[in-house]
Amino acid sequence: MEPKAKGLKRRRLFGLQVGLRQLILATLCTGVWFAHWTNQDGIARLEPRLANLQSLSPELIVADPSKNAAVQLPSPWYSIRRWEVYISTDRVRICLATDDIAPSGFPEKYESVLLPKGQYEIQLDEQKETDGLRFLVTQNGQSCLNIEKKLVAASGGSTTDSNVWSQTKQFDDIVPIVLLRRRNTVPVPGVAGSFRTPTGPSEGLILWLQSDR
């Protein structure tokens, strides 16, 4: 009788002689590859959900400290707007105007204050007064701009062009950052109860950051 072979037994698989070690190794490799494929597929399906969650909880991320940055934060109330901004130099002003608001560009008359280099939470609060509105701007909880605007009986509702950023955007120092642009509508001549957005400058509101150069 021939002596029995010592060590691991070998089996035939698809006509090939395969040892138990090779079989276990092949099984492990297949499992690793399948787990990797499953993870990649799961990540691809979760990415849209992650983007939605990020928009609900935006965060200011300053990738380049030499550039200004801004992101809009959730509003606790319809009359309050909030942003988190990063100012890269000591030459940036926060500006507010309520007249001569054009579809683009900036009005000549406005109120402004200089913001030193740093990170700020900017809040715009629209408060109703007896015969108008008061626009109060705060930075890190401290009042910095305050404009009272009387209501015009002929004005209608308003259209808002607000730069809603669910993720941080960065800008060169010389590029103005429009946080909010709002233009009041005006009556349509000869059509009772109808209003339209004017083609030229109008009353409204614009809040922006600009270089003080």
For residue 101, CA distances in Å to 66, 98, 129, 139, 160 come to 30, 7, 22, 23, 12
Rounded-to-integer distance, Cα 152 and Cα 54, Å = 39
Rounded-to-integer distance, Cα 171 and Cα 29, Å = 48
Rounded-to-integer distance, Cα 26 and Cα 14, Å = 14
Judge whether 100 and 201 are in contact, CB under 8 Å: yes
Rounded-to-integer distance, Cα 162 and Cα 126, Å = 15
pLDDT score of 113: 95
- Top pLDDT among 74 and 3 is at 74
Q: Domain extents for the chain?
A: 11-56, 68-211
Residue 2 has pLDDT above 70, yes or no: no
pLDDT score of 83: 94
Radius of gyration for the alpha carbons in the chain, expressed in angstroms and rounded: 31
Query: Against a cut of 0.75, is the pTM above it?
Result: no
Tens of pLDDT, residues 24-64: 777 777 777 777 777 776 677 766 665 555 555 688 999 99
Tens of pLDDT, residues 60-111: 999 999 999 999 998 888 889 999 999 999 989 999 999 999 989 999 999 9
Question: What is the residue-averaged pLDDT of the chain?
Answer: 80
- Cβ count near 177 (within 10 Å): 20
| Percentage, residues of the chain above pLDDT 90 | 38
Tens of pLDDT, residues 163-186: 666 788 999 988 899 999 988 888
pLDDT score of 119: 96
Query: What phi, psi does 30 have (nearest 5°)?
Result: -65, -40
Tokens 């988190």, residue? 84
Rounded-to-integer distance, Cα 38 and Cα 17, Å = 31
Residue 152 has pLDDT above 70, yes or no: no
Find how far residue 119's CA is from the centre of its chain. 16
